[in-house]
Amino acid sequence: MILQQLVNGLIIGSVYALIALGLTMIYGVLRILHVAHAGIYALGAYAGLVAYGLSQSFLLALLAAMVVAGAAGFGIQRYIYRPLFGTSPLVPLIASIGLFIFMEDLYRLVFGPNIIPLNAVWPSFALEWRGVKVTETQLVILLVTGLLLAFVWFFTEKTRLGLAWKAVAQDLEIAQAMGVNANLAVASNVVLGSVLAAAAGLLVAANYNEVYPTMGSVPAYKMLAIVVLGGLGNPVGTVLAGLLIGLVETLVVAYLGYKLPRDAIAFLALILVLMLKPQGLFARKGGG
């Protein structure tokens, strides 16, 4: 049924939007392709796994995952990216790729190379209407992603710190000259982006009931494709691109099977967009 597939696509697309939004926020301020963002995504899954095992509460696990990832994001921007300000853009990119590889190996050493199940237990509140079923896990994913996306919009558009992010993204030096605390703006931006990645990682782990060291490998590339499709540094475009990719992937797999690998769809879309509209499908008028 196509309606069921649309619901499934919306759910996976909302998770794509969540992780890619964090990346595009960080790129918008730092102008760094933060590949290690996918390592933070996996960190959120592992931190949530440990916290859930101790508390048997998914809410506490989610909060723990976001706190751990936020702290990691703060450390990365403070001790890795900030000393590299002013260098060639390739330098922080290489540092980010190296950090991502290190994080994957660290997870393998600490937690082992095998898949660990995350058996999240929910109260019974699944929905079913005219043959369309939404499971408890899917409802949690929609609720959490919806709340986080709404929070990011409110924070960006309605707070002074959100205004500071926009100023720093436009021109760091002028923003500092106008009295903006650039260090605070950068740090808070990376922390919030990391929180979004952690939430996405734990939600995906709960949805597929698995956590493993390389779970960030495919998202590392797919989120870059989504960010480019949405227009680099454009949060709204990134969310729309994430939802679009999720829907297209689900519909293609549902009606064509695995003749076309699911994870290849985002990259085919990326190639087409780069050929036809290099600025992205949802790029802002007048610039990125």
**227 inside domain:** no
pLDDT of residue 175: 85
**188 inside domain:** yes
**284 inside domain:** no
Contacting residues for 18 by C-beta, under 8 A, at least 6 apart: 145, 148, 149, 196, 197, 199, 200, 203, 242
Range of the domain at 125: 17-220
pLDDT of residue 286: 45
**274 inside domain:** no
3-state secondary structure of 211: strand
Pairing of strands 127-129, 132-134: antiparallel
Listed as ranges, residues in the chain with pLDDT below 70 are: 1, 257-260, 280, 282-288
pLDDT of residue 214: 95
Please state, in angstroms and as integers, the Cα–Cα distance from residue 157 to each residue in 25, 151, 164, following that order.
13, 10, 10
For the stretch 9-31, pLDDT in tens is 899 999 999 999 999 999 888 88
**265 inside domain:** no
**215 inside domain:** yes
pTM over 0.75: yes
Contact between 133 and 126 under an 8 Å Cβ cutoff? The reply is yes
Residue appearing with tokens 């969540």 = 18
**174 inside domain:** yes
> In the structure encoding, which two tokens stand for residue 93, read together?
């990119």
For the stretch 253-271, pLDDT in tens is 777 766 667 777 777 877 8
Return the H-helix or E-strand segment holding 132. Answer: strand 132-134
Q: What is the largest CA-CA distance in the chain?
A: 59
Please state, in angstroms and as integers, the Cα–Cα distance from residue 78 to each residue in 49, 99, 193, following that order.
27, 14, 14
Cα separation, 6 vs 2, whole angstroms: 6
